Amino acid sequence: MSIVLVGISHHQAPVELRERAALDRTRAAELAQALAGGQGEAVCLSTCNRTELYLADESGDAAEGKAEAALLALESELGPALYRLRDEEAALHLFRVAAGLDSMIPGEGEILGQVRIAHEAGATGPLLDRLFRQALQAGKKARSQTAIGESPASVSSAAAALAEQVFGDLEGRSVLVVGAGKVGELAIKNLVSRGATIASVVNRTGQRAEELTQRFGGEALPLDRIEEELARADVVLSSTSAPGWVLTREQVARALPARKGRPLFLIDLAVPRDLDPAIHELEGCYLYDIDDLEAVVAETLAGRRREAERAETIVAEEADRFRAWQASLDVVPAITSLRARAEQIRDAELRRAKLNDAERRAAESVTAAVLNKLLHLPTIRMKQAAAAADGVIYADAVRHLFGLEDER
C-alpha cells in the first residue's frame, strides 16, 4: 500500500487561487468519501492556507491520478501549483503541518484542530488512520516540548497579549471596540479568548456593529458615543478607515476623572491611525499602534523560529517511527504465514501422538514455547530489515524457503 499526497498551499499558490479550491467541512468529507470509493482510504485537509488530498492505495500512480483529477475539477488552473508526495515524504509533510511548521506563522495553533477534523471526517483505514493519529501526536509533542506556540504571532494576538500584561488578568475587563472590520474582529476574538468582555461596539454603520455584538456581546453604538463610553472601558480597540483622529487627547483627558485612576489600554490597529498619539502622555493611558505591535510580532517570530528548529527534530523522529512501521507492513504477511505454517505442523504432530489429556497439555505448553523462541529472532530480524528497506527481500526468501508462496 502506498500513501499519496497531492495538494496546493500558500508556498506555491496565491490566495486568489487557494480560495477556489477551499472546501468547507461537509464538502471535504464528501470528497474524501468519493475518492475512497468504499474500499480505499482518503482524507481531505482544507484550510485557508492549503487544500491537500491524502490517499492510501495499492497503486500509487492510480491514487495520484485520482487526487489530481479531483483538485483540477475544483479549479482547472491549479496544475502548476500542485505538489505530489508519497509515503515517507508525505508522512513527514503531514507531521510538519500538524506541528505548525509549514504554516505562514510557525507554531500557529489552529492547524492541529483542523488536522483532527479532517481525520475524523475522512474515509480512513489502517494506514491513514495510523498516519493521522501519529501526526496529531507529533503536533502535540512539538507544542508541549517546545515553546513554538507560546508567543503572540499576529498583530491581533500581540494586542491581546499586551493588554493581559498591563492588567495581569483580562477576566471581566471591559472592551470598547471602535470600528467593526475584519482586523478588529480578529482582535476581539483574541481578547474574548483571554477572558475580556465586549461592552460596546462603536461603528459608522450600525449593521456591522450589530453583527459583532450578537456574536461577542455588548451594545452597538454610534460614533458620537465614544467619549461617554471611555468612563467604563478598560480597553479601547480601534480599527476604522477614518482619515483623521477618531479619539483625541482632549476627549480622553475629559474622561479620566470619572475613571478614578483606573488604567486605560488603547490599541490602534488602523492605517492611517485612529487614536491621537498624544493620548500616551496622559497618566494611566497605554497606547500602542500597529508599528508597536508589529515589532512585538517580529521579535516573537524570531523566538518561534528558534523553537521551530527543536520542533523539526521531534517531527523527524516521529516520521522515522512511522516509516519503520509502514515498512514493516511488507513483512507482516510473511511473518503471519510462517507462524501459521508452524502452528499447523505443531498441531498435526500433536494429533498423531497418542497422549492422554495431561500429557497433551504438557506437550502443547512445551512445543508452543519452543515455537515462539524459534521464530522470535527471525521475526525481529525481518522487521529490522524492513526498516532498512531490505524487508521485501527477506520476506520473499522466507516464503521460498518454507514454501509459503501459495499462501500470499
The contacts of residue 269 (CB under 8 Å, 6+ apart) are 155, 156, 159, 183, 184, 187, 237, 238, 239, 290, 293
What was the pLDDT predicted at 139? 93
Q: Average of pLDDT values for 313-323?
A: 90
HSE at residue 339, side-chain half, CA atoms within 13 A, is: 15
Above 70 in pLDDT, residue 388? no
What is the pLDDT, as a whole number, of residue 321?
87
CA 134 – CA 128 distance, rounded (Å): 10
Q: Is the pLDDT of residue 232 over 60?
A: yes
Distance separating alpha carbons of residues 390 and 326, to the nearest angstrom: 13
Residue from 384, 277, 399 nearest 337 by CA? 399
Contact at 8 Å (CB) between 20 and 74? yes
User: In terms of pLDDT, which residue wins out, 213 or 107?
Assistant: 213
Take residue 83 and report the three cell numbers written for it: 505538489
- As a whole number, mean pLDDT of residues 36-44 equals 91
Residue 151's pLDDT is: 62
Evaluate the CA torsion angle 116, 145, 196, 291 in order and state its sign. Answer: negative
The predicted model gives 175-179 an average pLDDT of 92
Looking at domain 155-297, its CATH architecture is 3-Layer(aba) Sandwich (3.40)
Determine contact, residues 7/50, Cβ cutoff 8 Å.
yes
Higher pLDDT, 306 or 104: 306
Q: Which residue has the higher pLDDT, 196 or 402?
A: 196
CA angle (95, 97, 102) in 5-degree steps: 125
Q: What band does 398 get if pLDDT is binned at 50, 70 and 90?
A: confident
Domain segments of the chain: what residues? 2-145, 155-297, 330-407
Question: Can you read off the three cell numbers belonging to residue 286?
Answer: 497605554
What's residue 130's pLDDT?
Answer: 94
Amino acid 177: pLDDT: 92
- Per the listing, cell 497503486 goes with 59
Mean pLDDT over residues 204-223, rounded?
A: 87
Among candidate residues 48, 298, 362, 388, the one labeled active-site is: 48
Higher pLDDT, 191 or 331: 191
Indicate if 48 belongs to the active site.
yes
CATH number (3.40.640.10, 3.30.460.30, 1.10.3720.10, 3.40.50.150) of 2-145 reads 3.30.460.30
Name the more confident of 334 and 160.
160
Among candidate residues 289, 285, 257, 248, the one with its CA nearest the CA of residue 272 = 289
Model pLDDT for residues 87-122, shown as the tens digit of each residue:
999 999 999 999 989 987 777 777 898 999 999 999
- Amino acid 152: pLDDT: 57
